[in-house]
Amino acid sequence: MQTPTSVYLDNAATTPLSDAARSAMEPFLGDRFGNASSVYAAGREARKAVDEARERVAVAVGARPDEVVFTSGGTEADNLALKGAAWHGREQGHDGVVVTMIEHHAVLDPARWLGKQGFRVSEAGVDASGVVRLDALKAATDGKTAIVSVMWANNEVGSVQPVAEAAAIARAAGAVFHSDAVQGMPWIEIDAESADLLSISAHKLGGPKGVGALIVRRGVKIQPLFHGGGQEREIRSGTYNVAGIAGFGAAIEDWVLHRASTVEHVAALRDGLQDAIVKGLTGVRVSASDGERLPNNLHLVIEGIDGESLILLLDAAGIAASQGSACSSGAAEPSHVLAAMGVSRDLARGALRLTLGPSTTDADVDRAATTVVDAVGKLRAR
């Protein structure tokens, strides 16, 4: 029989559905099944739910409701931003795409794909703490750059990026500035004014999977990925995922309401977890600890072990953890983020990411610390 997970420390991968989200969704999974674009009563009811959610998402990020473009999640929002801005830019004679080396694959891969379509693509490097080098970003950006994309915070090591400075570099060059705030949004007060395009995702903050948004500031022009019914100001066609959107709206409102106290709670627990593991083990390094880091993120590079084996031992003990990006786990390639930070291939094998959430307790942290120390001991003794 499979051991049930009793300590969940992978909140960067996804979060449990909040009560607020679940109750907002329920009616639309049942008899309120109308299409939000239909004009009769059932359609209007669905539309009302979408509009209320739009308002809630807008308030949470300091945007206007008509700037919210609902998508199927962070991946679609990122693709829409990168391709949409690049395609629009090309019409104005701009063919440059600038990203950082530590972006999520939802940004990196569309950028590289655009490169194959003839765009000039640059990937700016980062320092040893996982923070983009602004001089490199500036050097990569010119008067023909269509879009600059710098994530708000990194999903593996939690490093917070200098978004305001990056936006200034993009704007000085006349480029559109995009930020992937999928990981930043749950933990940092995000102001949509800081970017022209901003990606967020529901399932990282108590909402359902498969729904997110791209905030497209007024006056910013992008080409759509999907053509069809013309929903979302013709930027994103497709019948509304009413239940998902309603859940997203309720989740983000509820999350932001409690964010300050959650941050205080998880930061203290994270620091305790870090201390206990660092004291209990030799040959362990805390990633991105020199700069600003997400308060719920503890990323470790542990010498002399294989991280994948560690995750399996932790799982057998009922602890859910990850090596880094959930999307690339299982792949043999070491993390592109750690490589960009200058961590050797060999050391990067020993990566462990523990990400806390609002329901993490002192007991979870004590158990996780003891289990990690024990499991590393076992692996090293093999």
- 71 lies in the binding site for ligand PLP (CB under 6 A): no
- Residue 10 engages ligand PLP in binding (rule: CB under 6 A): no
Residue 282, phi then psi, degrees to nearest 5: -100, 165
Is 151 an interacting residue with respect to ligand PLP (CB under 6 A)?
yes
Using the minimum distance from each CB to ligand PLP, give the nearer residue, 284 or 298: 298
The answer to the question of residue 57 lying near ligand PLP (CB under 6 A) is no
Does the footprint of ligand PLP cover residue 335 (CB under 6 A)? no
Determine, following the binding rule CB under 6 A, whether residue 188 of this chain makes contact with ligand PLP: no
Name residue 152's amino acid: W
Nearest residue relative to ligand PLP (C-beta): 74
**Strands 212-216 and 197-201, sheet pairing:** antiparallel
State which amino acid sits at residue 281: L
Decide: is 296 part of the binding site for ligand PLP (CB under 6 A).
Answer: no
**Residue 74 interacts with ligand PLP (CB under 6 A)?**
yes
Strand 96-100 relative to strand 145-149, pairing: parallel
DSSP assignment letter at 91: H
User: Tokens 């070491």 appear where?
Assistant: 334
Give the binding range for ligand PLP (CB under 6 A) out of 67-75, 269-277, 308-316, 361-369. 67-75
Q: Least Å distance between CB 11 and ligand PLP? A: 11
**Residues 368 and 9 sit within 8 Å (Cβ to Cβ):** yes
- CB of 154 closer than 8 Å to CB of 324: no
- Least distance from ligand PLP to the Cβ atom of residue 71, Å: 9
Please, which residues have CB within 8 angstroms of residue 185's CB and are 6 or more apart in sequence? Answer: 60, 61, 152, 200, 201, 204, 205, 252
**In angstroms, rounded to a whole number, what is the distance separating the alpha carbons of residues 375 and 378?**
5
CB 22 within 8 A of CB 151: no
Gap between the Cα atoms of 329 and 325, Å rounded = 6
CB atoms within 10 A of CB 145: 24
- Tell which positions 215-244 bind ligand PLP, by CB under 6 A: none
Which of 104/138 has CB closer to ligand PLP?
A: 104
- Verify binding: residue 102, ligand PLP, rule CB under 6 A: no
From the list 155, 159, 179, 360, which residue makes contact with ligand PLP (rule: CB under 6 A)?
Answer: 155
CA 187 to chain centre: 11
201 binds ligand PLP, rule: CB under 6 A: yes
Q: Does 205 bind ligand PLP (CB under 6 A)?
A: no
Annotated active-site residue in 164, 260, 327, 363: 327
* Chosen residue from 82, 106, 160, 170 binding ligand PLP by CB under 6 A: 106
59 annotated active-site: no
322 lies in the binding site for ligand PLP (CB under 6 A)? no
Q: How far apart are CA 279 and CA 253, in angstroms?
A: 38
Cβ nearer to ligand PLP, comparing 71 with 371: 71
Q: How many CA atoms lie within 13 A of 257 on its CB side?
A: 10
Among 212, 249, 324, 357, binds ligand PLP (CB under 6 A): 212
What b/e readout covers 162-181, taking b as 16+ CB neighbours within 10 angstroms? bbeebbebbeebebbbbbbb
Q: Shortest Cβ distance from residue 258 to ligand PLP (Å)?
A: 21
**Residues found near ligand PLP in the complex (CB under 6 A):** 73-75, 78, 104, 106, 151, 155, 180, 182-183, 201, 203, 212, 326-327
| Catalytic (active-site) positions | 327
